[in-house]
Amino acid sequence: MFVSRRTAELADEYGPMADRMDELAREQPGFIDMVSVRDPDTRQGITVAWFEDEASVLAWKQHPEHVLAQQRGIADFYEGYDVTVAQALRQYHFNRQEP
């Protein structure tokens, strides 16, 4: 889980980099899924990415292009962020079927 608060600056540069990280994460061995949302008014966002195991998570964290993006995020794009690595104990689904 990646919870962040963006700076107001450099939005034109952030979008392409965020899109590239999304694309790159989805190509990683062990990747399962990812969901990301951001409130444009508060600039608060959350990305939740699921991987098969901790080794896959660590490989993603250490991917060279992702490391550069992390450095750029600290320098230019984020006022702050929190990362949480967790294991899911169970998962539930609800899907309303509209007629």
Read off the pLDDT of each residue in 33-62 and give the average, rounded to a whole number.
Answer: 95
- pTM of structure: 0.83
SS3 of the chain: CEEEEECCCCHHHHHHHHHHHHHHHHHCCCEEEEEEEECCCCCEEEEEEEECCHHHHHHHHCCHHHHHHHHHHHHHHEEEEEECCCCCCCCCCCCCCCC
- Highest mean pLDDT, choosing among 7-16, 30-39, 88-97: 30-39
pLDDT bucket at 10, cuts 50 / 70 / 90: confident
> In the chain, what are the domain boundaries?
2-83
Read off the pLDDT of each residue in 39-67 and give the average, rounded to a whole number.
Answer: 95
Pick the CATH number of 2-83 from 3.90.1170.40, 3.40.50.2000, 3.30.70.100, 3.40.50.10490: 3.30.70.100
| Mean pLDDT, all residues of the chain | 93
